[in-house]
Structure 1
Amino acid sequence: MNATEKDRDIFARTLWGEARGESLAGQIAVAWTIRNRVNDGKARSWWGEGYAGVCQKPYQFSCWNKSDPNYAYLSGAKQIPFREFAQAQIAADQVMGEKLPDPTGGATHYYAAKMPKPPAWALGAQRTLKLGGHIFFKNVP
């Protein structure tokens, strides 16, 4: 897929919003879940189209919800700290450029391990990885 500079920017902002406290490896795992949605056969009908479309589709990534405290940073109203955003950009570039294999085994979903109970969608899904503060899944019913 031909990604634009807007795709790269939105992708990196999403990584920062969803996984800013993670290591580079953790951000790369989150990035692969986004890429797996971009490349999924149902991308145009369900996930959205392209990186920006998938990242900003309503209710897929909570950091883009206007009520989320990260939204002010993602929208540009506040500035993301330089080093943190640079790491998210590196993760985005590595995954967009297929420079690293998918550590999630094809995951299209994840949730924060600190959640008190798994989300309903995780029941019956195949867990593929726990890395940092996230648990990853594929084959979500």
Structure 2
Amino acid sequence: MTVSEKDRDILARTLWGEARGEGLAGQIAVAWTIRNRVEDGKTKSWWGEGYAGVCLKPWQFSCWNKNDPNYAYLSGAKPIPAAQFAQAQRAADQVMSGAVPDPTGGATHYYATTMPSPPAWAAGAKETLRLGHHFFFRDVP
């Protein structure tokens, strides 16, 4: 799969928006859930095409919702701190290139432990990893 500079930029911004407090390992795990969606041949049309398409699919990654406080940073209206963005870019590069293995066991979904209750989709899904402030899942019904 050809990965464009736009794909890299959107993936890195998504990692910052979704997991900026998680460190490199947590950002790599989130990036793998996105890569797993990109590579999911069964439902590719539903997930979106490529990294940018998957990340920007409405209501999939809350940091891209216009009412999310991080949206101003992701859209470029406010600058993302350089060191934080550089780490997100490293995570994006490592996952897109396949330089690091998938720590999530094929997860296509995750949610933050800070949510007041698990999302409905988690009820029948297989949990594959708990890392930092995220739970990761695959086989989501």
- Equivalent in the alignment of 2:57: 57
Distance in 2 (alpha carbons) for counterparts of 1:62 and 1:44: 20
Once the two structures are superposed, the pairs formed by residues 94-133 of structure 1 within 5 Å of their partners are 94-133=94-133
Between 34-43 and 23-32, the greater mean CA deviation after superposition: 34-43
Distance in 1 (alpha carbons) for counterparts of 2:2 and 2:45: 19
Distance in 2 (alpha carbons) for counterparts of 1:55 and 1:111: 15
Deviation at residue 95 of structure 1 after TM alignment: 0.0
SS at match of 2:128: strand
Query: Which amino acid in 1 is paired with 2:126?
Result: Q
Once the two structures are superposed, the pairs formed by residues 1-141 of structure 1 within 5 Å of their partners are 1-141=1-141
Query: Which amino acid in 2 is paired with 1:6?
Result: K
SS at match of 2:124: coil
> Structure 2: which 5+ runs fail to align?
none
Query: Which amino acid in 1 is paired with 2:111?
Result: Y
Whether the aligned pair in 1 keeps the contact of 2:37 and 2:44 (CA below 8 Å) is: no
Distance in 1 (alpha carbons) for counterparts of 2:96 and 2:8: 8
Distance in 2 (alpha carbons) for counterparts of 1:22 and 1:44: 28
Whether the aligned pair in 2 keeps the contact of 1:105 and 1:128 (CA below 8 Å) is: yes
Distance in 1 (alpha carbons) for counterparts of 2:25 and 2:43: 25
Deviation at residue 90 of structure 1 after TM alignment: 0.2
TM-score normalised over the length of structure 1: 0.98
Moved over 6 A (4+): none
Query: Which amino acid in 2 is paired with 1:35?
Result: R
> Percent identity at matched positions?
78
TM-score normalised over the length of structure 2: 0.98
Please list the CA deviations of residues 99-120 of structure 1 after superposition, one character each: whole Å capped at 9, or x if unmatched.
Answer: 0100000000000012121100
> Structure 1: which 5+ runs fail to align?
none
Deviation at residue 45 of structure 1 after TM alignment: 1.6
Distance in 1 (alpha carbons) for counterparts of 2:4 and 2:116: 38
